[in-house]
Amino acid sequence: MNQQNEATLSDVITEGINKTLARDLPNAGPNELEQRRKQMNKAELMDAYLQSFDREPTGNVIHGVVQRLFGMDLDHVSLLPEAEHEIQAAGGLQQSGTHPDGSMPAPREIIDIKLATGGKRWSGPEIRRLLNSLFGVNLDAISALDQAKISLFSKGQWVVRKDHDLFVVYTGEGDVDVSVYPTAYFLERTGMDGLPEDLNQALTDLGYRPDGERKSLYYADPGGQPVPDAFKGQTMGAIMAAIRNSYSHL
């Protein structure tokens, strides 16, 4: 884990992570535990923190750790239409009794509803998959961007953004469209005036089209639906390949 991730840890989260590490590594000293924690990515840190609880973590706890580790405020994300229909069909919203006026519960309340209907203790990976199915927030993919030199804007907020990132993936409202463009840092270091040709071609092959105003490439789902995770993964893969092949030194 890099120093920026380390700086996002609150004392409470650090204490929980250390509790889990001390249990898993009973012979490790304080320095070894700290070193191990610094080597963990965001998803691993989240898992360790959630494992420190004796009972099922609540929506408030999950909201807190996601905000601290990933910089994502779940209070500002929207429930996916298919998830809303599924919960309503199961009677989850009515059974919760939280909003008798029929208004939609807050995201952390929805998380509590789903956790209560699981009938089991949820693991960290299962909770991340739940968040993705409810809100389209793919925390595992975000965790993989820790050292990728790619900035990500999603769900109306910057999720990953560092000074020396090379490219930006910018998703619009509802994730129905995606733009990819170079950062000012990349243009300054390379002397280019847009995306490199190999990346331009790779993204064009995926269906992206030029957006001349921002010297970027743009993709929108033809049916107005959120861009699927598989397509996002292909986009990230193309960008990572371009960085790995030509720009890892920047």
Q: How far apart (Å, rounded) are the C-alpha atoms in residues 189 and 175?
A: 30
Same domain, 128 and 156: no
Can you give the pLDDT at residue 102? 58
In this structure, the answer to whether residues 157 and 240 fall within a common structural domain is yes
The model's pLDDT over 183-235, given as tens digits with 9 standing for 90+, comes to 999 999 999 999 999 999 999 999 999 987 667 999 998 888 888 888 988 99
Number of domains in the chain: 3
Q: Say if 30 falls within a structural domain.
A: yes
- Whether 241 is in a domain gets the answer yes
Output the pLDDT for position 213: 65
Single-letter residue type at 88: Q
Tokens of 225: 């639906």
* Residue with the larger pLDDT of the pair 212 and 238: 238
- Residues 153 and 243 occupy one common structural domain: yes
Does 156 lie in the same domain as 201?
A: yes
- Nearest Cα neighbor of 138 from 155, 119, 161 is 155
| Residue 69 lies inside a defined structural domain of this protein | no
- The pLDDT confidence band at residue 113, using thresholds 50, 70 and 90, is confident
Assess whether 86 and 111 both reside in one domain.
yes
Q: State the pLDDT at residue 220.
A: 92
Domain assignment present for residue 165? The answer is yes
* Dist CA 179 CA 171 (whole Å): 6
Based on the fold, state whether residues 161 and 98 are members of the same structural domain.
no
- Tell me if 107 is assigned to some domain: yes
Distance set, CA 98 to CA 77, 104, 110 (Å): 19, 9, 10
Q: State the sign of the Cα–Cα–Cα–Cα dihedral 179, 185, 186, 188.
A: positive
Say if 98 falls within a structural domain.
yes
Strands 177-182 and 209-211 come out as: unpaired
Average pLDDT over the chain, rounded to whole?
A: 86
- Assess whether 240 and 173 both reside in one domain: yes
Report yes or no: 139 and 145 within 8 Å, Cβ to Cβ.
no
Q: Is 223 contained in some domain?
A: yes
Q: Is residue 221 part of a domain?
A: yes
Same domain, 178 and 229: yes
Q: What is the mean pLDDT of residues 118-122?
A: 80
Q: Which residue has the higher pLDDT, 5 or 55?
A: 55
pTM of the predicted structure, to 2 decimals: 0.77
**Same domain? 23 vs 91:** no
The whole-angstrom separation of Cα 46 and Cα 33 is 16
**Same-domain status, 175 and 238:** yes
| Whole-number Å distance between alpha carbons of 160 and 162 | 7
Examine the domain organization and report whether 186 and 236 are in the same domain.
Answer: yes
Query: 130 lies in which domain range?
Result: 74-139
23: Cβ contacts below 8 Å, ≥ 6 apart: none
Q: Which residue has the tokens 């006026």?
A: 101
Same domain, 212 and 130: no
Of 92, 116, 139, the residue that ends a domain is 139
